Amino acid sequence: MTERVELQANVPQEMHGSRLDQVAAQLFPQYSRSRLQEWIRTGAVSVDGQQCRPRDKVTQGANVQIDAVLEAEVGWQGQDIALDIVHEDEAILVINKPAGLVVHPAAGHAEGTLVNALLAHAPELALLPRGGIVHRLDMETSGLLVVARTLPAHHHLVEQLQERTVKREYCALCIGAMTGGGTVDAPIGRHPRQRKKMAVIAMGGKPAITHYRLAQRFGHHTRITVNLETGRTHQIRVHMAHRNYPLIGDPLYGGRPRIPKGASDLLINTLRNFPRQALHARALGFIHPDSEEFVQFECPLPDDIRALIAVLEAEDPPHARDTTLY
């Protein structure tokens, strides 16, 4: 069965004078840039009822409309990759993604991704935006993702994300001994010099809000529970580094491992060799697209993070804290 997309949105003030393809990517982030550009070129995207080119500039308040037929993403193929399915019904899938698995095919990761695994399990997802995935996790972040199985479910979930009503809770292990929780309300954008990084940017960044609270204190590290109000790229990693509490195992934002003076060999080896950022999406809650009832899913901590916590409990107890030791 063919799925038809009929959407519209107005150009916000901050995007006045921007290219149509750039504006469309911001207004309809659930669709890939390549798909949006193709729709613009074929006339499926219009501005105030007029066909435009991708590079044409648009004005504040202009109405951008999509009237298109969804077709499968070119080049996306199903692959027999094991999935840890937490929940499945006719409208959604909830997946516990392992660390090391890329979510979407892209340059350098054309196959072996979560999307490839999903297409093998449910081939109809090829017709949905981004294979039905409505939010992402970094490759080295583990935990829960919800996947839409129908276009109405996809629109329903995307709307909840835009309205910031989806509950997303993470477990993170940070460098440094915190004294309390808090909220980071700081816009995030592309780093001005290091293009592979994101950064807190005063001008031009997208709004980003992260709430965190203490879950467990160690001598020189802290386990925190994090709740996202927004979902920017690398948001938790950027915000915690901004607060000078970068995640363990995150050289991109935390630099080299910080080893406390007098640390045991076990603690030194664990901190130096932890292979990824210590971040796990442990709980996910939202309004179910079909039942209209709030549902919540949880998954246990993966083995590597449980092992890290065990080492910190044994080798970096709270009484060992001395802030002058780094």
CATH number of the domain where residue 188 is located: 3.30.2350.10
**In whole angstroms, what is the distance from residue 18 CA to residue 156 CA?**
28
Single pTM value for the model: 0.82
Could you tell me if residue 126 is inside a domain? yes
DSSP 8-state class, residue 266: H
Q: Which residue, 123, 109, 122, is CA-closest to 136?
A: 109
Residue 269 belongs to what domain range? Answer: 167-320
- DSSP letter at 64? E
- Do 172 and 232 fall within a single domain? yes
Options 21, 138, 250, 316, the catalytic residue: 138
Q: Which of 304, 310, 215, 311 is nearest to 263 (CA)?
A: 311
The verdict on 64 and 104 lying in the same domain is no
What is the DSSP code string of 202-255?
A: SSSPBP-EEEEEEEEE-SSEEEEEEEESS--TTHHHHHHHHTT-PBTT-HHHH-
In terms of domains, do 234 and 108 share one? Answer: no
Q: End of a domain among 45, 69, 93?
A: 69
Are both 105 and 124 inside the same structural domain? yes
For residues 97 and 134, state if they share a domain: yes
Q: Which residues pair with 81 in a beta bridge?
A: none
Tokens of 90: 């006719």
Tell me how many degrees the CA angle 194-54-3 measures, rounded to the nearest 5: 105
Domain termination residue (choose one: 162, 190, 216): 162
Give pLDDT, residue 184: 98
Q: Are residues 230 and 96 in the same domain?
A: no
My answer on whether 142 and 197 are in the same domain is no
Asked whether residue 53 falls in the same domain as residue 92, the answer is no
Specify whether 189 is located in the same domain as 283: yes
Q: Are residues 132 and 256 in the same domain?
A: no
Q: End of a domain among 69, 101, 119?
A: 69
314 and 171 in a single domain? The answer is yes
Angle between helices 20-27 and 33-42 (to 10 degrees): 130
What is the count of structural domains for the chain? 3
pLDDT of residue 324: 40
Query: Tell me, what's the pLDDT at 2?
Result: 56
The reply to whether 253 and 275 lie within a common domain is yes
Concerning whether 56 is annotated as a catalytic residue, the answer is no
pLDDT digits (tens, 9 = 90+) for 231-281: 999 999 999 999 999 999 999 999 988 999 999 999 999 999 999 999 999
Residues of the chain where predicted confidence (pLDDT) is lower than 50: 1, 323-326
